[in-house]
């Protein structure tokens, strides 16, 4: 089961970022197969069969998203790769692009072919300028080999691929904000409808997919959708890149088979090898900073005592009262010394900083939560602040233009839900709160 490594199979091969080595290890074979033996519909069909779900965080089936693309006559269609990886705890796409640029490029060509796009873009966050340089070098190699440009491999299919940077804005990971930014504007998410599948880049039908989703099309075409779907459990098919960070003995990017147990992922020798410095696990945010935090007793087991698995379903088991989400696969571990209040404030500060400011609940609400949490963390809190936070939360959640409002609200709601005592302790012990942590919470006694 372990280390099937569909995406990262050759990641350690020296020179794999160059086209020669990549081709020697089976690179661009999927592209040859698709362009010579398959129709665009065939590729779409394999992606549908694979059960691949969007790897950026939302988990929406990729094949279904592709099938929504409007195809009016005489209007160009675009594929845009979302490489604006900015969710705290998530650094898998950067790893993939830096180490295996051609895997993304091959995936882009395959996906563009399936969608009938002749011009595609990779929008990468501006901070990753050095990765942009790696991608541009790889794209130039692909053009030279005839994998990009006119009449690719004699198939009659043309594709141009351009990488373009952002300028530092988490919100541009939201697909319509990304399109605005790609058009050279402020990254304000658009009001939907219309959705990008109908009106996207420059008003034309557009699909926006995450880096990992696009890369996964390469093994799906190579081995067939059924083979990909055979990995995993239920609707969580295939492999997933998990970027593990925080207080782990061995943080980093791992490709896991969906369905691996959380226990094995945290403590297993092939994965993170437990908590750093022999400490105890206090809490875990399993899917990037915007998903609910789980206290230690809900990390490896669900509330009903079943093993928690690395799947979309199992991590969400128990809903917001005892579950969380797989999200983008940004797996953050907190050891016993970490302060939940400080971390919640830190995340709230992040979302306040990253709010575009367009709609009022997010613009005012994220800033308000940040200020209240800052007061609590710095010994100026009142008991009524806790309920105030919970209420501000409810007024933001679901009422904003884009999901950033929810992303800002959930971590605060979950932290108060699971660690309310720690917030109260901070308010009651303002001077101690600034020098030491509350400690581990106790597992509730089940009667």
Partner 1 sequence: MSQTTQPVFDPNEVVVFSDAMIKQMNEVVNKFPQDKEKSAIIRILHLAQAEYAWLSVPVMNKIAEFLKIQPIEVYEVATFYTMFHLQPVGKHVLEVCRTGPCMLVGSDQLIQHIEHKLNIKVGETTSDGMFTLKTAECLGGCGYGPLLQCRNTYHEHLTIEKADALIEQYRNGEIQ
Partner 2 sequence: MPNVLMMVKVTIDGIEVEVEAGTSILNAARKIGGDAVPPAMCYYSKLPGTGGKCRTCLVEVAAGSTADPRPMPKLVASCSTPVQDGMVVNNKTSERVHNNRGGVVEFLLANHPLDCPICDQAGECHLQDLGYEHGSAKTRYEEERRTFDPIDIGNKIKLHMNRCILCYRCVFVANQLTENRVHGVLHRGEHAEISTFIEQAVENDFSGNMIDVCPVGALTDRTFRFKSRVWFLKPMDAERSCSKCCGKAVVWMFGNEIYRVTARKDKYGEVEDIDGKTAWLCNDCRFEHKSAADWNIAGPRVISRNSVISQGKYATSIEKPVKRIG
Q: Binding to partner 1 (CB under 8 A): which residues in 27-66?
A: none
For position 302 contacting partner 1 by CB under 8 A, the verdict is no
Dihedral pair phi/psi, residue 122, rounded to 5°? -110, 115
Number of residues that bind partner 2 (CB under 8 A): 29
Annotate each residue in 136-175 with x if it binds partner 2 (CB under 8 A) or - if it does not, as one string.
---------------------------------x------
**Residue placing its CB nearer to partner 1 in the complex, 322 or 343:** 343
Question: CA-CA distance, 344 to 366, in Å (whole number)?
Answer: 12
Stretch binding partner 2 (CB under 8 A), from 15-23, 66-74, 205-213, 346-354: 346-354
Binding residue (CB under 8 A) for partner 2 from 15, 146, 357, 439: 357
In the complex, what is the shortest distance from the CB of residue 64 to partner 1, in angstroms, rounded to a whole number? Answer: 28
Tokens representing 372?
């209240």
Binding residue (CB under 8 A) for partner 1 from 125, 308, 418, 426: 125
Annotate each residue in 84-123 with x if it binds partner 1 (CB under 8 A) or - if it does not, as one string.
-xxxxxxx--x------------------------x----
**Residue placing its CB nearer to partner 1 in the complex, 109 or 182:** 182
**Residue placing its CB nearer to partner 1 in the complex, 51 or 187:** 187
For position 356 contacting partner 1 by CB under 8 A, the verdict is yes
Annotate each residue in 23-42 with x if it binds partner 2 (CB under 8 A) or - if it does not, as one string.
--------------------
Annotate each residue in 212-251 with x if it binds partner 1 (CB under 8 A) or - if it does not, as one string.
-------------------------------xxxxx---x
In the complex, what is the shortest distance from the CB of residue 401 to partner 1, in angstroms, rounded to a whole number? Answer: 16
* Nearest one of 311, 330, 153, 135 to 248, comparing CA atoms: 330
For position 388 contacting partner 2 by CB under 8 A, the verdict is yes
* Nearest one of 294, 283, 212 to 253, comparing CA atoms: 212
Question: CA-CA distance, 254 to 241, in Å (whole number)?
Answer: 6
Stretch binding partner 2 (CB under 8 A), from 203-211, 236-244, 293-301, 393-401: 393-401
Q: How many CA atoms does the CB half-sphere of 246 hold within 13 Å?
A: 30
For position 308 contacting partner 1 by CB under 8 A, the verdict is no
Determine contact, residues 258/233, Cβ cutoff 8 Å. yes
CA angle 11, 16, 19 (to 5 degrees): 145
* Nearest one of 126, 117, 133, 121 to 85, comparing CA atoms: 126
* Nearest one of 313, 279, 311, 271 to 296, comparing CA atoms: 279
**Residue placing its CB nearer to partner 2 in the complex, 229 or 376:** 376
Number of residues that bind partner 1 (CB under 8 A): 55
* Nearest one of 314, 59, 310 to 51, comparing CA atoms: 59
Question: CA-CA distance, 424 to 340, in Å (whole number)?
Answer: 12
The full DSSP string for 71-132 is --TT---EEEEEE---STT--HHHHHHHH-HHHHHHHHHHHHHHHT-SEEEEEE-GGGHHHH
For position 376 contacting partner 1 by CB under 8 A, the verdict is no
* 401 contact choice in partner 1, partner 2, none (CB below 5 to 8 Å, kind-dependent): partner 2
In the complex, what is the shortest distance from the CB of residue 119 to partner 1, in angstroms, rounded to a whole number? Answer: 7
Determine contact, residues 258/238, Cβ cutoff 8 Å. yes
**Residue placing its CB nearer to partner 2 in the complex, 89 or 361:** 361
* 394 contact choice in partner 2, partner 1, none (CB below 5 to 8 Å, kind-dependent): partner 2
For position 364 contacting partner 2 by CB under 8 A, the verdict is yes
* Nearest one of 125, 58, 130, 134 to 85, comparing CA atoms: 125
State which H helix or E strand residue 143 sits in.
helix 129-144
Neighbours of 130 (CB within 10 A): 9
Rounded to the nearest 10 degrees, how much is the dihedral formed by the CA atoms of 391, 393, 394, 396?
A: 130
By CB under 8 A, name the binding residues for partner 1: 85-91, 94, 119, 125-130, 133, 162, 164-170, 181-187, 202, 243-247, 251-253, 285, 289, 330, 332, 334-335, 338, 342-343, 346-347, 350, 353-354, 356
Summarize as ranges the residues that interact with partner 2 (CB under 8 A): 169, 186, 191, 193, 352-361, 363-368, 371-372, 388, 394-395, 398-401
């Amino acid at each position: 089961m372990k280390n099937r490594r569909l995406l990262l199979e050759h990641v350690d091969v020296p020179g794999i970022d160059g086209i020669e080595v990549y081709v020697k290890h089976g690179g661009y074979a999927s592209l040859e197969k698709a362009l010579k033996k398959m129709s665009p519909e065939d590729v779409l069909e394999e992606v549908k069969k694979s059960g691949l779900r969007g790897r950026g965080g939302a988990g929406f089936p990729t094949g279904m998203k592709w099938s929504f693309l409007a195809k009016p006559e005489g209007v160009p269609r675009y594929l845009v790769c979302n490489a604006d990886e900015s969710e705290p705890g998530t650094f898998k796409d950067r790893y993939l692009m830096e180490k295996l640029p051609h895997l993304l490029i091959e995936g882009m060509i395959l996906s563009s072919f399936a969608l009938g796009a002749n011009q595609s873009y990779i929008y990468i966050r501006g901070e990753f300028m050095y990765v942009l340089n790696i991608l541009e070098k790889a794209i130039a190699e692909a053009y030279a080999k005839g994998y990009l440009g006119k009449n690719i491999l004699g198939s009659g299919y043309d594709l141009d691929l351009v990488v373009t940077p952002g300028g530092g804005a988490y919100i541009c990971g939201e697909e319509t904000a990304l399109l605005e930014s790609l058009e050279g504007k402020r990254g304000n998410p658009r009001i939907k409808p219309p959705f990008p599948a109908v009106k996207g880049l420059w008003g034309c039908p557009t699909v926006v997919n995450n880096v990992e989703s696009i890369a996964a099309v390469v093994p799906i075409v190579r081995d067939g959708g059924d083979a990909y779907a055979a990995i995993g459990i239920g609707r969580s098919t295939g492999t997933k890149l998990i970027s593990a960070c925080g207080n782990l003995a061995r943080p980093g990017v791992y490709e896991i088979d969906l369905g691996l147990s959380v226990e094995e992922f945290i403590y297993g020798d092939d994965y993170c090898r437990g908590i750093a410095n022999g400490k105890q696990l206090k809490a875990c945010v399993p899917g990037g900073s915007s998903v609910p935090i789980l206290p230690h007793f809900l990390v490896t087991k669900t509330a009903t005592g079943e093993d928690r698995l690395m799947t979309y379903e199992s991590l969400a088991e128990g809903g917001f009262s005892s579950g969380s989400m797989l999200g983008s696969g940004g797996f953050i571990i907190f050891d016993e010394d970490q302060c939940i209040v400080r971390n919640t404030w830190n995340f709230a500060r992040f979302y306040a900083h990253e709010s575009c400011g367009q709609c009022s609940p997010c613009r005012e609400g994220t800033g308000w939560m940040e200020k209240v949490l800052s007061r609590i963390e710095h010994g100026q809190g009142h008991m009524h602040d806790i309920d105030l936070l919970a209420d501000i939360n409810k007024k933001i959640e679901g009422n904003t233009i884009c999901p950033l409002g929810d992303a800002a609200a959930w971590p605060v709601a979950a932290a108060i839900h699971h660690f309310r005592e720690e917030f109260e302790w901070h308010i009651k012990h303002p001077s101690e709160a600034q020098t030491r942590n509350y400690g581990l919470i106790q597992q509730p006694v089940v009667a």
